Amino acid sequence: MITPVQVAVQITVQIVLVVAGAPLLTGMMRQVRARLEGRAGAGVLQPWRDLRKLARKEPITPQGTGWVFRLAPLVAAATVLVVAAVVPLTGTTSPLAGVGDLFAVVALLALGSVALALGGLDTGTAFGGMGASREMTVLALVEPTILMSIFALSVRVGSTNLGAIVTRTAEDPLDVVSPVSLFAAAALAIVTIAETGRIPMDNPATHLELTMIHEAMVLEYAGPDLALIEWASAARLGVLLGLLASLFAPWGIAGVGAGLAAVALAALILVIKVAVLGALLAAGEVFMAKLRLFRVPELLAGSFLMALLAVSASFFLG
Amino acid sequence: MPGLWRKIRKTGRVAEPAPARVPAEVPAAAAELAGSIQIRHVDAGSCNGCEVEIGSVFGPVYDGERYGVRLVASPRHADALLVTGPVTRNMEVALRRTFEAVSEPRLVVALGDCARGCGVFAGAYGVVGAVGDVVPVDVEVAGCPPEPTAIVAALRGLTGR
C-alpha cells in the first residue's frame, strides 16, 4: 500500500537532489575536464561558490529592457524545477503523475529555452538577438527528434507517461537491448547534448561571442538573475541525464509502494548513474572540438534519422 | 583518439604545485566575493605582451582556475576587470563604460607597467593616461610584462585561496 507520506518523501528527496546536486554535477564535469587537460581544477564545489557570490551581487537591468528580460530567468528556473518534480528519477510514482508525461516535460524545457531567448532579444543587443536566433534554430531541429523518440518508446507501453514507460522497462530489462531502445537512446543522447549546450553543439566555456549559442543570450544578465540562469542550465543537464538513465537503465529505481530504504537506495543509484554519465560526457568533450554552426543541423538530422529508425523498428519488430 | 588518450596518460598532471600563499591585504570588495572571482579582460591599448602572460596564467602549467578565478565573456558576468596597456583615446570611453557595466562589488586590476603608469608610451599623442586616470584601480601588478607567477599571486590575493 502506498501512503502519501512515502510519495512526499520520495519527491522531496528527488527535488533536493536536483537542486543541490546540479551545481555539483557541473563542478564534477569541469574537474574531469581539468584533470584530463593536465590542470588541477577549481574543485567540485566551485559552481556553488560562484552561485553564492552571484546571489549576493547587485542586480543590474540594462537600459531599455522590460519585464520579459526580468521574468526570463525565473521562468527558466521554475520550469526546470517543475520538471525535476514530475520526471521519474528516484521513483516511478509522483503526486503529479498525470503531468509526468514526456510531451509535458519536453514542452516545459522548451518553454524555459524560449523564455531565455525572449530575454536575449529584449536586450536589443546584436549578440542577444544572434544567440536567440541560433537557440531557436537548434530547438526547432531538436523538437521533432524528441517527439519521434517518444513515439518509439511509448508504442510498446501504450502511454506517453514517463512513469509507465520506466516501470515497463524495469519489469522487462531485455527491452533495453531492443533496436527500438538503442536507436531512441542514441537519438535522445544527441538531443540532450544539443538541449544543454555542450560540445560539440555549443561550448559553455567559450569567450568568442561569434561562436556562442546559449551564452550569447545571457550575456547581459548579472548578479542574482545570472545565478538563476546558471543553476537552471546545470539542473537542466542533471535532469536530462537522470531521465536518460531512468529511461534506458531503470535499475534500482523505486517502484510503486516502495519503502523509505528503497527510496534512499534509488537516490544513491541515481547519483552514481548521473555522475557516470556526466563524467563520460566531460571526457568525450576533451576529445572533440565544437562543430561549425552550419554542421550542427547535419548532426541533428542524423539524430532525427535514428529516432525515425526507432519508430520504424517498433512498427516492424512489434 | 587512441593517440590522444595515450598522450593524456603519458603527460599526466602538468600543473605545477600551488606556491605558498603570500599573506596580503585583501580589498574590502574582494572579501565579499568569497573565493570566486570572474574576470573580464580589457585591452585598453596593450602591445599584447601582457595578453600572452594572461594566456599562460590560465593554461595548464599555472592553472589560475584552481584558485577560483575564471575568465568570462561579458562585463555583466564579471567581478573584476583586468586592464592591460595604457588607455588610448579610442579605448577611454569603452573602458569607462565597461567599468560601469560591472555590478557591485567590483574591482579593477591594472596589469603591467603600461597600465600602472603608461610605461614606454608615456606622453604619446594617442594615450590618455594610465588606467588609474580613467577608472579607480584596486590592485596593481608590476612588470613589462608581469610574470605569470606575479599575476597568479595578485589574483590569489583577490580570491583569498
CA dist., res. A143 & res. A195, Å (int): 10
Note whether residue B5 is domain-resident: no
Helix locations, A87-222, DSSP H: 102-122, 126-155, 162-171, 179-195, 214-217
Smallest Cβ–Cβ distance between B68 and the set A42, A206, A208 belongs to A42
Note whether residue B108 is domain-resident: yes
Tell me what pLDDT residue A1 has. Answer: 46
Note whether residue B22 is domain-resident: no
Helix or strand (DSSP H, E) at B87: strand B87-88
CA dist., res. B137 & res. A87, Å (int): 50
Closest CA to A217 of A123, A145, A80: A123
Smallest Cβ–Cβ distance between B66 and the set A40, A226, A287 belongs to A40
Task: Report ipTM (2 d.p.).
Answer: 0.90
Note whether residue B80 is domain-resident: yes
Note whether residue B10 is domain-resident: no
Residue of A45, A50, A54, A203 to mutate, interface with B, max B Cβ within 10 Å: A50
Burial B99-122 (b: 16+ CB within 10 A, else e): bebbbebbbbbbbbbbbbbbbebe
CA distances from A206 to A137, A202, A268, B69 (A): 20, 9, 33, 15
C-beta neighbour count of A65 within 10 angstroms? 16
Note whether residue B138 is domain-resident: yes
**pLDDT tens-place values along chain B, 161 residues long:** 889 899 988 988 888 888 887 777 777 777 778 788 999 999 999 999 999 999 999 999 999 999 999 999 899 999 999 999 999 999 999 999 999 999 988 999 999 999 998 889 988 999 999 999 999 999 999 998 999 999 999 998 888 88
| B39 Rama class: left (phi>0) / alpha (psi -120 to 50) / beta | beta
* Residue A138, all three cell numbers: 537548434
Residue of A32, A49, A130, A209 to mutate, interface with B, max B Cβ within 10 Å: A49
Smallest Cβ–Cβ distance between B65 and the set A39, A58, A209 belongs to A39
Which residue ranges make up each domain of chain A?
Answer: 4-316
Smallest Cβ–Cβ distance between B103 and the set A36, A57, A287 belongs to A57
Is A282 within 8 Å of A33 (Cβ atoms)?
yes
Closest CA to A299 of A212, A192, A149: A192
Chain A: nearest CA to B59, how far in angstroms? 8
CA dist., res. A122 & res. A22, Å (int): 28
- φ and ψ of B119, to 5 deg: 55, -135
Is A199 within 8 Å of A290 (Cβ atoms)?
yes
Task: State the residue for C-alpha cell 509526468.
Answer: A100
CB-CB neighbors (< 8 A) of A212 in chain B: 73
Smallest Cβ–Cβ distance between A226 and the set B12, B60, B77 belongs to B77
Q: Select the more confidently predicted residue: A245 or A92.
A: A245
How confident is the prediction for chain A on average, in pLDDT?
88
Closest CA to A17 of A197, A224, A181, A246: A246
Note whether residue B97 is domain-resident: yes
Q: Does A215 touch chain B (CB under 8 A)?
A: yes
Q: Does A297 touch chain B (CB under 8 A)?
A: no
Tell me what pLDDT residue A2 has. Answer: 62
Chain A: nearest CA to B140, how far in angstroms? 23
Q: Does A41 touch chain B (CB under 8 A)?
A: yes
Chain A: nearest CA to B155, how far in angstroms? 14
CB-CB neighbors (< 8 A) of B28 in chain A: none
Query: Please, is A118 exposed, middle or buried when counting C-beta atoms within 10 Å of its C-beta (0-12, 13-18, 19+)?
Result: middle
Yes or no, beta carbons of A42 and B32 under 8 Å apart:
no
Closest CA to A240 of A110, A131, A118, A116: A110
Q: Cα A286–A291–A296 angle (5° rounding)?
A: 135
Q: Does A174 touch chain B (CB under 8 A)?
A: no
User: pLDDT by residue (tens digit) across A82-108?
Assistant: 999 888 888 887 767 677 788 888 889
C-beta neighbour count of A209 within 10 angstroms? 16
User: What's the N-to-C CA distance of chain A in angstroms?
Assistant: 34
Q: Checking DSSP bridges between strand B139-141 and strand B107-111, what pairing results, if any?
A: parallel
A-to-B residue pairs, Cβ atoms closer than 8 angstroms? 90
Residue of B54, B65, B67, B81 to mutate, interface with A, max A Cβ within 10 Å: B65
CA dist., res. A71 & res. A85, Å (int): 21
CB-CB neighbors (< 8 A) of B74 in chain A: 219-220
CB-CB neighbors (< 8 A) of A285 in chain B: none
Tell me what pLDDT residue B57 has. Answer: 93
Helix or strand (DSSP H, E) at B42: strand B37-43
Note whether residue B25 is domain-resident: no
Domain ranges, residue B129: 35-159
Question: CATH number of the domain that B92 lies in?
Answer: 3.40.50.12280
